[in-house]
Copies of this chain bind each other. A is one copy, B any other.
């Protein structure tokens, strides 16, 4: 693992690391913010999963999260959104498939299965790396994400309840089986058998997961001026599913806010406080 850059920030540090991934068979980068409290011992942490077209860099430079994380003593990991490198297959005409669009699942289809194993990368390999190398509490970790990364955060939270104790999302894709972004990704990575798709669909998973959960509330923020709201995001589907599953959900709809990092920075402090409270 090689340190690409490091900066003191709010009394803690933000650094970018590069490593060879055995799961994705390529070189990957992630950032980590360590709050000043790591000087006194291990701290809880959040992994923030970014959206389509993003790398680790978008959250790291634009989310404005580190002030509150430093105050509350929580670390934040920001991984990349797909495998990378010239040898990794891509759909160059698509911003929503291939590189920058790994969808946080393990692909099974030829061409994609060799490298696109983002679920195993996030849940296993990267988790092992950060817990081994930094002063983190593996039993006190949560997931947060934006858009495609909100899909990742919610689905991995439901699938790995022993690993993730808290979850929140901004503008998440909550029902990918029912929207164009999800159709395209699932068809490409998982194939035509739609019965397999529900294993990667938050609105389907919450119904199965109801007994496995730790009873923490889920926090979701959604902007009402988000151009993807009607066609791709459809938070009402997830709200309905949570009601059926008795999953506590705090869905906040915000007049005038869009899909950008300006929306994220406006409410990120509430998400950090939410995770700190759940992970106590």
Contact = CB atoms under 8 A, between A and B. Distances in A.
A213 B7 CA distance: 36
Contacts of A7: 257-258, 260, 262-263
Contact of A258 (B8, B223, B257): B8
A148 B258 CA distance: 33
A7 B225 CA distance: 9
Interface stretch (A58-66, A72-80, A122-130): A58-66
Q: Give the interface SS of chain A, mostly helix, strand, loop or mixed.
A: mixed
Nearest to A8: B256
A14 interface: yes
B8 A66 contact: no
A223 B13 CA distance: 14
Contacts of A261: 61
A14 to B, nearest CB: 6
Nearest to A64: B64
Contacts of A257: 7-8
Interface residues of A, number: 24
The count of identical subunits is 2
A17 interface: no
Given A61-B61, A62-B62, A64-B67, A265 B225 contact: no
B61 A8 contact: no
A49 B18 CA distance: 33
A10 interface: yes
B64 A265 contact: yes
Interface string A137-162: 00000000000000000000000000
Nearest to A266: B10
A95 to B, nearest CB: 18
B62 A8 contact: no
A251 interface: no
A42 interface: no
A26 interface: no
A9 interface: yes
Given A7-B262, A64-B67, A66-B262, 4 more contacts: A8-B254, A8-B257, A9-B262, A67-B266
